[in-house]
Structure 1
Amino acid sequence: MAGEKSFPTFKIFKNAQIVETIEGADKAKLSNAVKKIAAEADGDGAEGGYGKTSATSWLGAALAKGYRDVTDQVDVRGLDLMNSDSSGGSARDLFANGAPSALGSGKGSADKKDWVESDTDEQMMLFMPFQSTLKVHSLHVTSLAQEETMRPKTIRLYKNRAHTLGFDEADDIEATQTVELSPEDWDDKTGTARIELRFVKFQNITSLVLFVADGDGDAEKTRLDRIRLIGESGEKREMGKLEKIGDGTE
């Protein structure tokens, strides 16, 4: 019939309104439209400092538009946490899917702590290997410190290390990025600071070392409840051997 179209027409709706029409099987346009919708959904789904990427994934801060939670790419089998109090939680607790228990009662569970505290002083060193190569845009660091603990103040990040660093070694190596956190950086509701990284330096990342160099306050120990990584995931890595890329000191 005259006037009929022989190719498909895709209409994209938002809030019951058509926001985009794509005529024809243009794969590139369709792909870009899907990515745009996903990015907007991530941004819209994180209000008041909270965000969720699934029914089981808790976020303490809003996602950066265009990026997703890639915390599931952490290889928990290879985690290494140095100078942590043995009476507290483990490194795996930092990447648990659920919200920190302390957000419920204000003090957390007396039976099992799902957070970590430093041991002999305020410093902690966390080694995080990844299952795939990542582009890391930002970190969400949650610390629900009580009177006897502090939130981190200075955090140093080292990329693509084959293993964790010693504390003396970290002082002698230039960090990929050093972050100084102030009280205003922490969300009042979630106890989370969103740390935006120098994205150009955090491409092709196979591991990160997070060094809590000092805390903000007069207590003797620092505390961490959750860590989330935000960015993009790439090619899966061959697990069983960690490969060092570059010298890791850029």
Structure 2
Amino acid sequence: MGLATVIENEAHFQTEIGSAGTKLVVVDFTATWCPPCQRIAPFFEQLPAKFPRAVFLKVDVDRCAETASAQGISAMPTFVFFKNRTRIDRLQGPDPGSLEAKVRQYYGTDEAADEDSAVAGHMDLVTFITKSECECLNESDDHPLAHALNNGSGYLASDCDEQLIINITFNQVVKLHSLKIKAPADKGPKTLKLFINQPRTLDFDQAAGNTSVQELELTPSDLEGGNPVPLKFVKFQNVQNIQIFIKDNQSGGEVTLVNHLAFYGSPICTTNMGEFKRVAGKKGESH
């Protein structure tokens, strides 16, 4: 079973996007007269069985001209990816390998899906983190930051003393709602200072001396990884990068450990593509 849902009109499209919640939605913009669309159609129909937690929609651009226009579709097939009513990516052309790779990239793991529902209306932003641009000062060589960004693949440990500075860069501007930190009750972080949109990673003197956007005092129960730690949402509406200065840990020891660090929120770009259409030009105009 698990076939893609054929969209009837714009209202139907908005209903499907809305009811999907934090699930990944993959939309195939297609046309009956387009041979590349027909070539990739059987492959697209196999994806719902492979990715049962995602929602797959088919939009015929002639039948649903309003939706195609609102999404700035100029060539078929175009695949558009949504999460949380937010457009996160698009792919043009009938390339099964690229299509499946993108679905896999945004699909997430089973654990992430369970956790997504724990922060209503917000999603784990792990797919938006540019891992190559993240860094951590005073991380242990054997237990670097990368271990804490992937749930279940080890942990982050401090090296010379208990302090850490973590710099997380996102590949697009996001709104941050909360953090989720899983760490041991004794060696987990206690005092956190949060900074955003710094041009480069702060050093320890700057982190200690500069005024932060928010300071958090965590309790051992905050470190169980179950409940997210809310941020002052109004101050984190436009975040390209976030830096976390971990000042000390729960027991006052020399080593701080973090098993898992996750960020919940949403990317800024929305499904309202009014701005996009103006750039693309009107129908019939050459680009």
Judging changes above 3 Å, is the alpha-carbon distance between structure 1 residues 169 and 69 closer, same or farther for their aligned structure 2 residues? same
The one-letter code sitting in structure 2 at the alignment partner of 1:100 is G
Q: Quick check: 2:119–2:228 contact (8 Å CA) kept in 1?
A: no
Q: Quick check: 1:139–1:227 contact (8 Å CA) kept in 2?
A: yes
- Correspondence 1:79-90 to 2 at 5 A: 79-86=134-141, 88-90=142-144
Matched, 1:128 2:168: yes
One of 93, 98, 119 as aligned partner of 1:64: 119
- Correspondence 1:159-178 to 2 at 5 A: 159-178=196-215
For residues 103-145 of structure 1, the C-alpha deviation after alignment (integer angstroms, 9 at most, x for no partner) is xxxxxxxxxxx21211121110011111111011111112146
- Correspondence 1:149-160 to 2 at 5 A: 150-160=187-197
Q: CA deviation at 1:193?
A: 5.3
Q: Quick check: 1:69–1:230 contact (8 Å CA) kept in 2?
A: yes
SS at match of 1:150: coil
Structure 1 or 2: more strand by fraction: 1
Alpha-carbon distance between aligned partners in 2 of 1:55 and 1:207, rounded to the nearest angstrom = 22
TM-score normalised according to structure 1 size: 0.63
Q: Quick check: 2:181–2:222 contact (8 Å CA) kept in 1?
A: no
Q: CA deviation at 1:33?
A: 5.9
Gaps of at least 5 residues in structure 2 are 1-7, 25-52, 54-105, 270-287
The one-letter code sitting in structure 2 at the alignment partner of 1:229 is F
- Correspondence 1:101-250 to 2 at 5 A: 114-144=154-184, 150-187=187-224, 191=225, 194-235=228-269
Matched, 1:100 2:152: yes
Alpha-carbon distance between aligned partners in 1 of 2:176 and 2:201, rounded to the nearest angstrom = 19
Higher RCO (C-alpha under 8 Å, 6+ residues apart): 1
Q: CA deviation at 1:56?
A: 2.3
Alpha-carbon distance between aligned partners in 2 of 1:91 and 1:186, rounded to the nearest angstrom = 17
Judging changes above 3 Å, is the alpha-carbon distance between structure 1 residues 63 and 91 closer, same or farther for their aligned structure 2 residues? same
The one-letter code sitting in structure 2 at the alignment partner of 1:70 is L
For residues 210-244 of structure 1, the C-alpha deviation after alignment (integer angstroms, 9 at most, x for no partner) is 11111001422110121111111135xxxxxxxxx
Superposition RMSD on alpha carbons, in Å? 2.9
The one-letter code sitting in structure 2 at the alignment partner of 1:38 is G
Structure 1 or 2: more helix by fraction: 2
Q: CA deviation at 1:39?
A: 5.1
Identity %: 24
SS at match of 1:133: strand
Judging changes above 3 Å, is the alpha-carbon distance between structure 1 residues 143 and 184 closer, same or farther for their aligned structure 2 residues? closer
Q: Quick check: 1:134–1:203 contact (8 Å CA) kept in 2?
A: yes
Alpha-carbon distance between aligned partners in 1 of 2:108 and 2:132, rounded to the nearest angstrom = 24
Alpha-carbon distance between aligned partners in 1 of 2:167 and 2:237, rounded to the nearest angstrom = 18
Alpha-carbon distance between aligned partners in 1 of 2:110 and 2:197, rounded to the nearest angstrom = 26
SS at match of 2:198: coil
